[in-house]
Structure 1
Amino acid sequence: MLKSSALNWNELADRALAGELLTREAAHAVLNAPDCLLLEQLAAAYRVRYHYWENRVRLHFLLNAQSGLCPEDCHYCSQSKISTAEIEKYPLLAKEKILDAAAQAKKLQAGTFCMVISGRSPSERVFTQVLDAVQAVKANYDLKICACLGLLSQEQTQRLAEVGVDRVNHNLNTSDDYHSQICTTHTFGDRIATVENVKAAGITTCSGGIIGMGESDDDVIDLAFSLRELNVTSVPLNFLIPIPGTPFEKIQELNPRRCLRVLCLFRFVLPAQEIRIAGGREVHLRSLQPLGLYPANSIFIGDYLTTPGQATHSDLEMIRDAGFAIESPDGSPIETDSLKTMTSSV
């Protein structure tokens, strides 16, 4: 195996910028680099990130529009049928509550409003209500909408496109080889099929994974390579929160440096993609959260599905203090003075 000390991180960045795929040997070296090289890794990953995104940070606002009562057995999820976690469980929120959440997303300068519902796949009744809510948000707020609705058919993705959904999220979560260890009620192929259906409908693809579920380095690398092969546009990376009441409640494999190395790997493999630090950012990166912005260019602001996020003003201060700029919905950076005003008002 290639030793991390033998790698030239800037050369690795040059290759990523040239569109070359990392060798598996180099990918292993990225994940297993010693802590003393971490800042060099981050600097090289930032070169790639800056080429495509400069110092902008894109914000996403997440709404858990339907919670719990899911028939799937995903071992990491507090909403699955096998979870005993104490969470709120409710059917699809009324359109008025969804609009209230969209108004909050707009206030926070989020570029994307993410609507998530629990379940394997939406029933026709729920799906119709989602379509109606999307149209209402589009009519009232200038927000891009990302829908995360479970497994979707070609007909469903086409209907989402017709009402103006900008993006559909459906995570691969892990590698093909490891998928059966985290879920048995659907396959890795089912997830690939949904992403392909999204692409066929002309909707922007959003797909990522969860790190820290007991997977091997090869599984992490395979996930990154699969996302590159699918040419997904947006890549949310979650870090497992071992929620009491789920089968993975006792898994504790992550530390901040491991998370940062994973983010660097994904930036080298997916140089032009939006890479978002998603669930588990506050839990696992902790005091090193600002360093995550060097390989990644996007975060969720506010809460996640069933777990709380960092206070909004803390996120905004983190971005400002690290010298980054929030990306406005039109793609331009928000000036520092405006960011100070936002920070003081939330």
Structure 2
Amino acid sequence: MISDLSSTLATDSRWHQLALQVLEGKHITSVQAEEILRTSDDELLELLAGAYRLRHKHFGKSVQLYFLVNAKSGLCPEDCGYCSQSKLSKAPIDKYRMLSADQLLDGARLAAERGSKTYCIVISGRAPNEREMTAVEMVVPQVKEKYDLKICACLGLLNDTNAQRLKACGVDRVNHNLNTGKEHYDKICSTHTYEDRVDTLKNVRSAGLELCSGGIIGMGETPSDLVSMAMELRELQVESIPLNFMHAIEGTPLEKEGNLTPQDCLRALCMMRFVNPASELRIAGGREKHLRSLQPLSLYVANSLFVGDYLTTKGQPPESDYQMIADLGFEITRTEFDSP
């Protein structure tokens, strides 16, 4: 009887009905997206069930693993308030220039050993200089030949020429996060604009590369700001969306932010899935800190995660991720999922 009642409640819920509309190809509105973010805790499981219908339609029970290497750390002239690598940060982090080709290849080896589909090469800074561009161009073909990994490059602001060079050397996609909504952006950064980030994504798309772009929740934004970012990602038709959960680092301007509950994180993931149902959705930095024991629930919405550490913060052991995925009955795959 309890099982029957639960089934009836799930299929009668407004989130089930909204999921059906999305499955029929209808976009949800900004108002509906904000309603998702304001869902009560009592409705959260029904919301997750609706989001899972969308995830399952496009990705089944597959999980894609990503591995990132901090290929250049610190030394950044930008003033992004959340970042321990910015010029304003007093956080004690490692600072070094571009890693050698051998070091980047060793990172690719580890990515392959951990079952990753994609190797993410990330550098700090406003934009890549010629030396950094050349280093990426030289190592990407070697990584692909030796380890058969997809390559995602995160190199800062890109002009048309640099985007085309990345495409030519074999990069598959470029990461450049919007980070937050347009109206909130000047509260977290002043050395470049939201429009600069959008322009980079448009340059990347024009070069024929896939887009990886997401953001960070918990930086003092409003629900409207978060929805605005999600809608912009939909407009840009972003293939991959990493969602970070603000891991406030002592010594950064936003060190007091990041007051999130696991439920806040789950609601944000659900909203992003309803707005961008066919995009790969990744639980990224801060998931261990904020989702805590509810991490498994996040994979009923997201279909991807970083395995290992982040740029300047630690992740949980890969074995914990593998166990979580297995316990859910999901499967790690390095191939694209073909929806039924």
* TM-score, scaled relative to structure 2: 0.94
**How do 1:158-307 and structure 2 match up within 5 A?**
158-307=164-313
Residue by residue over 1:76-117, the C-alpha shift from the partner in whole angstroms, topping out at 9 and shown as x without a partner, is 000000000010000000110110110011111100000000
Q: Are 1:156 and 2:186 counterparts? A: no
Residue by residue over 1:271-304, the C-alpha shift from the partner in whole angstroms, topping out at 9 and shown as x without a partner, is 0000001101101000000000011000000000
State how far apart, in whole Å, the 2-side matches of 1:206 and 1:16 are. 22
1:325 alignment counterpart: 331
1:62 alignment counterpart: 68
State how far apart, in whole Å, the 2-side matches of 1:194 and 1:7 are. 40
2:131 alignment counterpart: 125
Q: Are 1:11 and 2:17 counterparts? A: yes
AA in 2 matched with 1:9: W
SS at the partner of 2:164?
Answer: helix
AA in 1 matched with 2:24: A
In structure 1, the gaps of 5 or more residues are 1-5, 334-346
Q: Are 1:316 and 2:337 counterparts? A: no
State how far apart, in whole Å, the 2-side matches of 1:7 and 1:191 are. 38
1:340 alignment counterpart: none
SS at the partner of 1:177?
Answer: helix
State how far apart, in whole Å, the 2-side matches of 1:222 and 1:208 are. 12
How far did residue 253 of structure 1 move?
2.3
SS at the partner of 1:60?
Answer: strand
State how far apart, in whole Å, the 1-side matches of 2:171 and 2:265 are. 31
How far did residue 7 of structure 1 move?
6.4
State how far apart, in whole Å, the 2-side matches of 1:58 and 1:96 are. 26
AA in 2 matched with 1:13: A
SS at the partner of 2:208?
Answer: coil
How far did residue 123 of structure 1 move?
0.7
SS at the partner of 1:205?
Answer: strand
State how far apart, in whole Å, the 1-side matches of 2:139 and 2:96 are. 17
SS at the partner of 2:58?
Answer: helix
From 17, 40, 45, the equivalent of 1:39 is 45
Residue by residue over 1:44-84, the C-alpha shift from the partner in whole angstroms, topping out at 9 and shown as x without a partner, is 10000000000001000011010000000000000000000
State how far apart, in whole Å, the 2-side matches of 1:25 and 1:180 are. 24
How far did residue 252 of structure 1 move?
3.5
State how far apart, in whole Å, the 2-side matches of 1:47 and 1:70 are. 42
Q: Which moved more, 1:11-20 or 1:221-230?
A: 11-20
2:77 alignment counterpart: 71
State how far apart, in whole Å, the 1-side matches of 2:13 and 2:125 are. 44
AA in 1 matched with 2:26: E
* TM-score, scaled relative to structure 1: 0.93
State how far apart, in whole Å, the 1-side matches of 2:195 and 2:326 are. 41
Residue by residue over 1:313-340, the C-alpha shift from the partner in whole angstroms, topping out at 9 and shown as x without a partner, is 001001001111111x23379xxxxxxx
State how far apart, in whole Å, the 2-side matches of 1:174 and 1:219 are. 7
2:141 alignment counterpart: 135
2:118 alignment counterpart: 112
Q: Are 1:82 and 2:54 counterparts? A: no
- State the percentage of identical aligned residues: 55
State how far apart, in whole Å, the 2-side matches of 1:19 and 1:308 are. 39
How far did residue 228 of structure 1 move?
0.2
Output the aligned Cα RMSD.
1.2
SS at the partner of 2:80?
Answer: coil
State how far apart, in whole Å, the 2-side matches of 1:82 and 1:132 are. 32
Matched-pair contact (CA < 8 Å) for 2:285–2:310: yes
AA in 1 matched with 2:234: R
State how far apart, in whole Å, the 2-side matches of 1:260 and 1:252 are. 15
